[in-house]
Amino acid sequence: MSTVTRHIRPARESDIPFILTILEAARSIMRSSGNPNQWKPGYPTEEMIRKDIAGEHGQVMEEDHRLVAYFAFIPSPEPTYAVIEGGSWLDDRLSYHVIHRIASFPDVHGVFRSIMDWSFARESNIRVDTHRDNKIMQHCLLSYGFQYCGIIYLLNGDERLAFQKL
């Protein structure tokens, strides 16, 4: 039995076509799992991915030399996290990192755990938000030990469920 070689590295401009394909696959996963509203067609935009890369926040996961996942690992502060309703952050004084735009191909398993293990090796305080209909992400977050903290609102006014793990 062969072992899978998986690692995470900073995304590069040359990765963008593959990242866009991964994002489209993630949108399909969302639609088929009852989450039709979180990522509209074209979101996240190529411009957002370019900004992630320029800011050194965009990360890709390679598995056996194939790009299989993308996410953004962004240091605090996250402006949309300044106000939280119906609860509170576990700690509101410590710096933290936010993980946004987690996306992968449907045939690759264990991506969420690999991303979180990598992230927690670099930061002990992580916040994530997700759409109310994204039951897969909520399950993954709770299974990994994140706690539900309340509701935050995106810049466009859309609500998101907020989670944190220290």
For the chain, give every domain's residue range. 6-165
For domain 6-165, which architecture applies? 3-Layer(aba) Sandwich (3.40)
Q: Which two tokens stand for residue 147?
A: 């706690």
In angstroms, the Cα distances linking 78 to 106, 108, 139 are 29, 29, 23
Average pLDDT of the residues in 132-156 = 96
Give yes or no for a contact between 64 and 70, defined as CB atoms under 8 angstroms apart: no
- pTM of this prediction exceeds 0.75: yes
Q: Which two tokens stand for residue 130?
A: 């997700």
Please report, rounded to a whole number, the percentage of residues in the chain having pLDDT higher than 90. 85
Give yes or no for a contact between 27 and 44, defined as CB atoms under 8 angstroms apart: no
What is the per-residue pLDDT for 63?
94
